[in-house]
Amino acid sequence: MVLDTLRHTGLAIWQAIAIATAVLVSVVIYLIHLWISKGLQFPKAGVCRCDVRMDGKTVIVTGSNTGTGKEAARDLAQRGARVILACRNARKAEKAAEEIRKSSGNGNVEVGVLDLASLSSVRDFCTHIIQTEPRLDVLVNNAGFSPVLRMRSDISFCPRTDPETADGFELMFAVNHLGHFLLTNLLLDLLKKSAPSRVVTVSSGAHVREPEIDFNDINFHHNFSPIRAYRRSKLASMLFVRELARRLAGSGVTAVSLTPGYVATSRLNSQTLSARALLWGAVGVMHRWLYGKTLLQGAQTTIHCSVADGLRSGQYFSECKPKDPAPQAMDDEAARKLWELSEKMVALSK
């Protein structure tokens, strides 16, 4: 009996080793194929080469306690700006702020509590900013929610029924679009007062994969797909910037959008490990090793759009250079329709 148990245990171990080896070999072959298909060329990350100072200017960066947002905030602080880290977790944000103060030599780095998934939190944050800040030169809409933020058992992406806000919105659409939509609109008067000023919205190259906004099912109550929900939210942010730029014409406020590129972030830190998670984690790590950016590299286009001269409102940037977005992100009618629907969803209009 004991011998049979040992045999079965040994067989299971060897099967696990064989599966792990097969996965590793498959990942290596996949990455080599990608490497060769790109002509053995590593992508060159754009670098912000502007030496513009930001002394006397105030900048808000959402989602800036970690990742590229934190690196962008650090750079802006080094340029002398007053930087407000607008984050959901006050403790983590204060830790990041203290680190930025020390590394930048700029003590004028503050924390504001902002949960973009909560419309009331957005309103409270904006009320505080309007009452306490005499100016706002740059608003960086950086925070975002990814479909792989959570993982339970062997489910790689969050289900539709779990990520819904207290206001009743699909979470990725709420955080990546609606929260920033309300935030920007509530701070527009302060931005206009501080003109020339700008709104910088961090979108994603993933918007090219979503053909359109389904206005009949904006909340994905039917046929939910986490990847499509993410892409739709990023397309929405692109259309938001396009309509915002049109509405701000002549105001002195410039609105631009950007993609940071493929960046290593801390999104996977809290996920539950599983066979599927380990597989995709291994693929992601190795793919990032060959093709990915560091956090500082990923922040470069955000920094460029925050400080560079000569930006035109409505432009989209990649690798610190203007780039044409996907055709669906230049649909003026969709942009107008999304704006009007978003106004109703956040109760800016009836």
**Active-site amino acid positions:** 230
The answer to whether 52 and 308 have CB atoms below 8 angstroms apart is: yes
Helix (H, G, I), strand (E, B) or coil at 67: helix
* Whether 348 contacts 181, CB under 8 Å: no
Is the Cβ–Cβ distance between 210 and 232 less than 8 Å? yes
CA quadruple 293, 304, 306, 182: dihedral sign? negative
Q: Whole-angstrom Cα distance, residue 163 to residue 166?
A: 10
- Tokens representing 258? 């950007």
Tell me how far apart the alpha carbons of residues 171 and 162 are, in angstroms, rounded to a whole number: 9
331: phi > 0 → left, psi -120 to 50 → alpha, else beta; which? beta
- Rounded CA-CA distance 147/228 in Å is 9
Q: Write the DSSP string, 34-54.
A: HHHHTTT--------------
- In whole angstroms, give the CA distance from residue 100 to residue 115: 21
| Contact status, residue 87 vs residue 113, Cβ threshold 8 Å | yes
Among 132, 135, 113, 111, CA closest to 124:
113
**Sign of the CA dihedral 323, 328, 331, 335?**
negative
Where are the strands (E) in the chain, listed by range? 58-62, 82-87, 109-113, 138-141, 197-202, 253-259, 316-318, 321-322
| CB 278, CB 239: distance < 8 Å | no
Sign of the CA dihedral running 303, 305, 306, 310: positive
